[in-house]
A and B are shown apart, each in its own frame.
Chain A
């Protein structure tokens, strides 16, 4: 089964608005990470939240984690055109399974 399913698949908002993306996963995790991918490029790590944390902030990013619902959300506040990218959540289970399990991503478009 696949972990890290994001929704929505695509999101288009106006510059300055907030963007919220959600992620669900299926099995227990050690931590959950969010990455950004600009078109045709590699992934850039944005933020990590451990399984025993509920909320984390980094600049304009806010991540929440609900382990009872096996879900996470990424909020980008005061969006900018440069935030246009695909955003992926990645579940890290640990315990010898060291590859990250990615979802299909949310494609975010910020309209100027």
Chain B
């Protein structure tokens, strides 16, 4: 049973470009969460999605950031017109959505904006 798969592991973008981060949840999981981690910091919740629905995007910046989890395929976190402050590790987690809400994390995508 493969774990949460994220790709790419490392992504380098120049200011103004777009970044697309992909996440395939664990088999059988229909709940996906995205977190951002700055150096020496904990993870900050960004968005929670179920298939085809955004449930909670309270942690998402209002501009340039968007997320989707289509019926088929991986969840995508999209950052338009990246700036240097977007440089961080972005982690995806998935769960079955039970009341325990144990989340299983991917290895993350490290975004570097030049």
Number of B interface residues in the complex (CB < 8 A):
31
Query: Is B42 touching A102 in the complex (CB atoms < 8 A)?
Result: yes
Q: CB within 8 Å of A: which residues of B? A: 4, 6, 31, 33, 35, 40-48, 55-56, 58-59, 91, 93, 97, 99-108
Distance in Å from the Cβ of B99 to the closest Cβ of chain A?
7
Say yes or no: is A41 at the interface (Cβ < 8 Å to chain B). Answer: yes
SS class of chain A's interface: helix, strand, loop or mixed? strand
- Can you pick out 23 interface pairs between chain A and chain B where the beta carbons lie within 8 Å of each other? A4-B42, A30-B99, A31-B101, A42-B107, A42-B108, A43-B43, A43-B93, A43-B105, A44-B105, A45-B104, A98-B55, A98-B101, A99-B33, A99-B47, A100-B33, A100-B45, A102-B35, A102-B42, A102-B44, A103-B42, A104-B40, A104-B41, A105-B42
